[in-house]
A and B are shown apart, each in its own frame.
Chain A
Amino acid sequence: MAGGGGASSRGAQARGRRKRQTPPLPLDILLEIAARSVDPATLVRYAATCRDMRRRAADESFRRRLRLRHTGGRFVLPLLRGHLTGPTYGRKDEQYMVDTAAAMATTRLTRLVFPPTPQGSPHETFEPLDSRGGLILLAVSDNSNHHYYQERIHLRVCDPATRHSHTFPFPYSDSSGRSSYVLLVGDGEGDGAAAGRPFQVLDAKLAFTSVLCLRIRIFSSEHADWGPCTTIPITPGLNTAGYAYDLATYSKSLVVGDVVHWLYLTPSGSHVITLHVGATTPRAKVTTLPASFPRAPVSRRYHDRGRIKHYSYLLATATPGGGPIVLVADDDKISAWPRYEGSKIWKQQPWTVVDSVGELPATTSSRSLRVSLECFAETSGAVLIKIYRRGFVWLDLQSKAIVRECLDPRLEHQNVYCSYEMPLSSWLPNFSSSR
């Protein structure tokens, strides 16, 4: 037995070592490696190497073994599901997910149905406030008095995929202006978190003491409670005291890592406020966009409103996890105002994202279009654009192409709450034309 059969294989192995190319690794081993891809793009590239890989990667048993852990520093477009929408006025109990995950032109409206809160009244209504990583943050109101103004009673974070949810009371508010509510979703599987993953909800609003401040409270799923209310001075100090600005109404928040951004556009200047929530003592800063940043002239006369110049603004990032950019829509031209790389200073000039939305395929129109920027999907890198009298399209910031469209007239006058993206853990590659 001893030493048997070993003599010749040594030499064979040595030869094999010099030229590993013969024989190639068995397909089963390649699949083991591919299943452990760290990011979705690498996985897709494995599948693109040969037919067998693609066929086997589309297999259910392979998909079950996927363990993707991060997006690999790139936008992952397939994580985009669509956006959450609901009525602008009146009844607030009919919300939909405009599901554009499938191919173009097959928009599906999914009515969002939320289970009632324990001991809740039968007249509860739910309004999406924010969404991130597959979770949705909802405001729960009681509509039993049928008042126009519905009092918000609870907040709820829910996972529509698993139906897990966590309901908790609204924080005490001094009722001076509406807060911006931002949902922050942690990594990993929080065992204690009722919504499946650890999360935080930030309640932030602007306040004026002697300087401009952010007044914040944070609910964390870990502690299942609100933290203390803290007032954070925004540095450097801005002389905008007395100007009422409702963060929730005028800016969709942008979250990059543990930094939350809001636009702060006052009559005297254009700013971006950032809040580092990850730090033990949160810090708030403000940066000022250049004087060349386009702002519509202010007109107080109502009948002027239709005629004066109109811009639409949205915070986004040009690269995943990168610095913020401010997108500006001017008629149907979209430009992006960036900061200098590695700096907090905004550049004097924007770059052009698209010259004309109306000239892009899928929207081609002889008429001049007016568009507005609705929301940004942070992990897929797409911007939801409303084209007046046409519907909605998703613009991929990287390819500058329209990647999804929902030209459904029913949606035009609906309120857009936020984008909805899947978490990476539930993403599966879709190799539709694999044979």
Chain B
Amino acid sequence: MEVDKGKGEAEETRKVAEADRDTVTLKSSDGKLFEVSKEAAARLSTVLAGMIAGGSIDDNGTDLKQIGSEALENVVDYCNKHANSIPSAALISSSISFNTAPFKEPEEWERKFVDRLSHDALFDLVEAANFLGMERLLDVTCHKISEMMKGKSPDQIREVFNIKNDYTKEELEEIRQELAWAFYDD
């Protein structure tokens, strides 16, 4: 009895310790495991926050089948860097009401973070951020892509994103005329 009780208590404390663990483990589509600060994950990702609150976090690695290991590594890297950087007032306010808050310029480290990524890694990261509901990471990555697209013609944009042009020649001409101001210097 006493032994059992003691075991129960141990179980209990282990559970508490589990609940108190300050990291969560995420598993990529290709089975790689990544540890990320629980606080940062919950703060930066609405999806992970929901999973943590709902208890659907798997200690052996929460499956994220939609995200490849490279993209997940970047997500985790971003979360950990975010946890370590002192959140500025701007970031706090933008995470409260992200739908109406004006965009806050990426911070220096965020800029560096996306600058080192290849084209494809950046696009994969956008998809991952979208899937995980990471508004700030979406802002930072999309901002980078948007800067890359500045001054590009619709043709060049189609090429980068592999968008199929389904306009007729006449429609394209119509758009060009209607929105001529946006097409100078092409």
Contacts and interface: CB of A to CB of B under 8 A. Distances in A.
B39 to A, nearest CB: 25
Given A7-B31, A42-B146, A49-B154, A30 B163 contact: yes
A42 B163 contact: no
Nearest to A46: B157
Interface residues of B, number: 57
Q: Which of B69, B120, B181, B185 has the most CB of A within 10 A?
A: B181
B60 A49 contact: no
Interface in B148-186: 149-154, 157-158, 161-167, 172, 174-176, 178-185
A119 to B, nearest CB: 36
Contact of A6 (B29, B138, B146, B152): B29
B21 interface: no
Interface in A1-35: 1-7, 9-10, 13, 16-17, 20-22, 24-26, 28-30, 32-33, 35
B67 to A, nearest CB: 10
Contact of A10 (B69, B150, B166): B69
Nearest to B153: A45
Interface of B: 27-32, 58, 60-61, 63, 65, 68-70, 99, 102-103, 119-120, 123, 126-127, 130, 138-139, 142-143, 145-147, 149-154, 157-158, 161-167, 172, 174-176, 178-185
Nearest to B68: A13
A21 B163 CA distance: 9
Nearest to A2: B60
A38 B30 CA distance: 35
Interface majority SS on A: helix, strand, loop or mixed?
A: loop
A67 B102 contact: yes
15 contacts: A13-B68, A25-B161, A25-B162, A33-B146, A44-B182, A45-B183, A48-B154, A48-B172, A49-B161, A50-B166, A54-B175, A74-B185, A380-B181, A396-B181, A398-B184
Given A24-B163, A48-B175, A399-B180, A33 B31 contact: no
A9 B29 contact: yes
B163 A53 contact: yes
Interface in A56-113: 64-65, 67, 69, 72, 74-78
Interface in A407-435: 425, 432-433
For chain A, which range describes its interface: under 10, 10 to 19, 20 to 34, or 35 or more residues?
35 or more
A341 interface: no
Given A2-B31, A24-B163, A50-B166, A45 B180 contact: no
Contact of A32 (B68, B138, B153, B175): B138
Nearest to A189: B102
Contacts of A16: 120
Contacts of A22: 162
Given A41-B182, A188-B102, A399-B181, 8 more contacts: A4-B31, A5-B31, A6-B32, A24-B163, A46-B149, A49-B161, A72-B151, A399-B184
A40 interface: yes
Nearest to B32: A6
Contacts of B150: 38-39, 42, 72
A59 to B, nearest CB: 15
A33 B174 CA distance: 25
A37 interface: yes
A9 B179 CA distance: 43
A29 B130 contact: yes
B30 A33 contact: no
B136 to A, nearest CB: 12
A33 B164 contact: no
Given A2-B60, A396-B181, A433-B174, A10 B165 contact: no
A200 B144 CA distance: 33
Contacts of B180: 77, 399
Given A2-B31, A6-B30, A42-B149, A69 B181 contact: no
Contacts of B149: 33, 37, 42, 45-46
B132 to A, nearest CB: 13
A239 to B, nearest CB: 43
Contacts of B123: 20, 25
Contacts of B172: 48
A51 interface: yes
A389 interface: no
Contact of B181 (A49, A64, A75): A75
Given A20-B119, A77-B181, A45 B30 contact: no
A35 B178 CA distance: 21
B101 to A, nearest CB: 9
A50 B163 contact: yes
B70 A13 contact: yes
Contacts of B165: 49-50
